[in-house]
A and B are shown apart, each in its own frame.
Chain A
Amino acid sequence: MAEVRPDEISAILRKQLSGFESEVDIYDVGTVLQIGDGIARVYGLSKVMATELVEFPNDVIGMVLNLDEDSVGCVLFGESSLVKEGDTVKRTKRVASIPVGKELLGRVVNPLGKPIDGKGAINTDKFLPIERKALGVIQRQPVKEPVQTGIAAIDAMIPIGRGQRELIIGDRQTGKTAVAIDAIINQKYTHTEEAKSLGIKPVYCVYVAIGQKSSTVAQVVAKLQEHGAMEFTTVVVASAWEPAPLQYIAPYSGATLGEYFRDNGMHSLVIYDDLSKQAAAYRELSLLLRRPPGREAYPGDVFYLHSRLLERASKLSDELGGGSLTALPIIETQQGDVSAYIPTNVISITDGQIYLESSLFNSGVRPAINVGISVSRVGGNAQIKAMKKVAGSLKLDLAQYRELEAFAKFGSDLDQSTLRTLNKGARLVELLKQGQYAPILVERQIISIYLGTKGYMDSIPVSDVKRFEKEALEFFDVKHKDILETLKKEKDISKQLEEKINNAANDFLKVFKKTV
């Protein structure tokens, strides 16, 4: 590096200083009465707004949460040991807000929009408050376009529509985050030219990590980068070591980022990972602010905490541009207990839930989705017709399989039709197993589910099902590309197409049987 001469420095300083105006600065102040545990009571600040940011000494930022008769209660986003009793607090006249825009894509930021990925400042002048009102009835319309997660079990049986709120719930180590990350990675397809020509609009993603280890978040970011998904994704991080107030506002920041896309006629997918930790952070904060505790020591407004967040997911009416914000909140249960306070709350708010079970996970069914109790209340309208057709029989077959599964364990003599149902069910379960970071395009999902439900796999051993699927898809890719193309374009299975698929499948089965 070339040396900088002292006279150069002083010249630049002088130039900068000449532009420095000395005017009277007018600002409002208060005095810290009490400080501790990340909470400050401040006397003064008489005109301060709720959720306004305030400035403490040593660059500590706080947010006003309680407005009392003679004092205000603030939460600190920094070290409370840097603030002393009697310190002066300044108003910023800005409610807690976050920079928004496409400039944030590919970045990792904290809940106040400060970049933490070391890639320099974010150049955007658009700021939106992190707490925004959810839309009313007039501004919305029912969901009609699908969000393809790339996970066959979800896209077929628990479809998610753009603008929906679908809960992902399960114990620790059941692959909740994996489902969400796969969903983000699969959105890469929506950014391709091909998707554009088919009228599929791009989906921008926001991944909000709340109360997780920083190393876990770094892994997620690395995975997204590896699969080229960071280009259309923003990661909002409030790690476990950060103060509870930051963890509490993180999901709202994420929602605001998503709303920017929604309000400008684009589509966004926001993942809150996870809301149980956010609720715990909010409980900590409320108890320190001396709000009365309720059930499980959560404050009385813990339902509102989540409902006002998830209500912000929406599909806008066509007059407003038809944008959407899809929310995938994640909840971690303890020992599969879904009747705890926070799980029941969030289940009741969302438009359906995906249950992940550790028993399934351990028996090798991955993703460990319990399709029996997972539902999507509105996503069916968003499913493409072809998928709807094949998924109907898939659901039925699996339901019958589960019913008979218990019997089969006794090993008693079973009649032919029962055996057939069990056989088929076992193959379908095998078919729905899927690796991590390996999302499947929807037309391929349709083909493999079609082959499964029409019984093409019944004659091959269960252990060969996955190989059958893989090779069948390769076969279709090479020899019957037209079938996949028609499925993509028409999004429906016509009589002729069905015949074509059947013929191709029969051809393939003959070849495959020789290899078994």
Chain B
Amino acid sequence: MADFRILHRYATSLLETSLEKNNLEVVSSDIQLLVQTLEQSRELQSMLDSPVIRPELKLNILKEIFSKKISKESMDFIEFVILKNRERFLASIGKRFLELRDDHLGIANVFVTSVSEFSNEQKSVLQSRLEKILDKKVRLNFKTDSNLVGGFIAKVNDTLYDASIKHQLELLKKQFLTGEISLN
């Protein structure tokens, strides 16, 4: 719980400063790169997690990797986080920042799970329908899961739009169990 408060605060401050300085796009692509790199390299993350390695050394390593690829403002933020000894949250702060940025720009991240891959046509139909329902720009992320039997599930934040056969079957089972059906 405390973790969430920490990363939320750092992420908000980064979002606010980048809005002030009007460089949200640059910063967000930098952060995206940072998050991606940290997720791909386990060694890098465990280096940040390690209490044995001195913060200065960590900063130098990160500087060497990123300084040529990202803006100065982003690098300053990384340095600031390390200075505050919160480097192990760097990846989560980045993720939270991207979420907050999407919120700010009115973009909804929708996770669609289906049995088989959608065709491009289906994707665009789904996108336009969801944009209409949510009244927001929609970014679709696709995943397949054969357990659903058929149909799809779209997840926006905590809300599920469940059109899967699996869920329908569950509802049907419930209906049978509550005794809606009577013989004679």
Interface set of A (CB-CB < 8 Å, partner B): 4, 8-9, 12-13, 16-17, 20, 22-30, 44-47, 68-71
Contact = CB atoms under 8 A, between A and B. Distances in A.
A17 B173 CA distance: 11
Nearest to B180: A16
B162 A26 contact: yes
B158 A44 contact: yes
Given A20-B172, A25-B171, A26-B162, A9 B1 contact: no
A70 B175 CA distance: 34
Interface in B5-58: 5, 8
Contacts of B163: 22-25
Nearest to B155: A29
What 10 pairs across the A-B complex have the smallest Cβ distances? A70-B4, A24-B163, A44-B158, A25-B162, A28-B158, A46-B158, A28-B159, A16-B181, A22-B168, A24-B161
Given A9-B183, A12-B183, A25-B171, A69 B159 contact: no
A8 B183 contact: yes
Nearest to A68: B1
Contact of A29 (B158, B168, B171, B175): B158
B66 to A, nearest CB: 29
Nearest to B174: A59
Contacts of A13: 181
A4 B163 CA distance: 35
A331 B4 CA distance: 43
Given A4-B183, A22-B168, A71-B1, A47 B158 contact: yes
Given A8-B183, A12-B183, A69-B1, A46 B160 contact: no
B180 A26 contact: no
Given A12-B183, A20-B172, A20-B175, A26 B4 contact: no
B172 A69 contact: no
Contacts of A71: 1
Nearest to A31: B158
B183 A46 contact: no
A71 to B, nearest CB: 6
A429 B184 CA distance: 65
Given A22-B168, A69-B1, A30 B161 contact: no
B181 A26 contact: no
A17 B180 CA distance: 11
B157 interface: yes
B102 to A, nearest CB: 15
Contacts of B175: 16, 20
B167 interface: yes
A27 B180 contact: no
Given A69-B1, A69-B4, A26 B158 contact: no
29 contacts: A12-B183, A13-B181, A16-B180, A16-B181, A17-B172, A20-B175, A22-B168, A24-B161, A24-B162, A25-B160, A25-B161, A25-B162, A25-B163, A26-B159, A26-B160, A26-B161, A26-B162, A27-B159, A27-B162, A28-B158, A29-B160, A46-B157, A47-B158, A68-B1, A69-B4, A69-B8, A70-B1, A70-B5, A71-B1
Nearest to B157: A46
Nearest to A23: B163
B166 to A, nearest CB: 11
A16 B172 CA distance: 10
A20 B175 CA distance: 10
B76 to A, nearest CB: 27
Contact of B160 (A20, A27, A70): A27
Contacts of A28: 158-160
Nearest to A15: B181
A280 to B, nearest CB: 28
Given A25-B171, A44-B158, 8 more contacts: A9-B183, A17-B172, A23-B163, A26-B159, A29-B155, A29-B158, A29-B160, A47-B158
Contacts of A29: 155, 158-160
A419 to B, nearest CB: 73
Contacts of B8: 69-70
Nearest to B4: A70
B127 to A, nearest CB: 16
Contacts of B172: 17, 20
Nearest to B162: A25
B98 to A, nearest CB: 17
Given A9-B183, A12-B181, A30 B167 contact: no
Contacts of A16: 175, 180-181
Given A12-B183, A26-B161, A27-B159, A69 B167 contact: no
Contacts of A27: 159-160, 162
A467 to B, nearest CB: 58
Nearest to A17: B172
Contacts of A23: 163
Contacts of A46: 157-158
Nearest to A44: B158
A20 B173 CA distance: 12
A45 B162 CA distance: 16
A4 to B, nearest CB: 6
Nearest to A90: B160
A89 to B, nearest CB: 10
B153 to A, nearest CB: 9
Contacts of A68: 1
Interface string B141-184: 00000000000000101111111000110011001000011010
A70 B4 CA distance: 7
B12 to A, nearest CB: 13
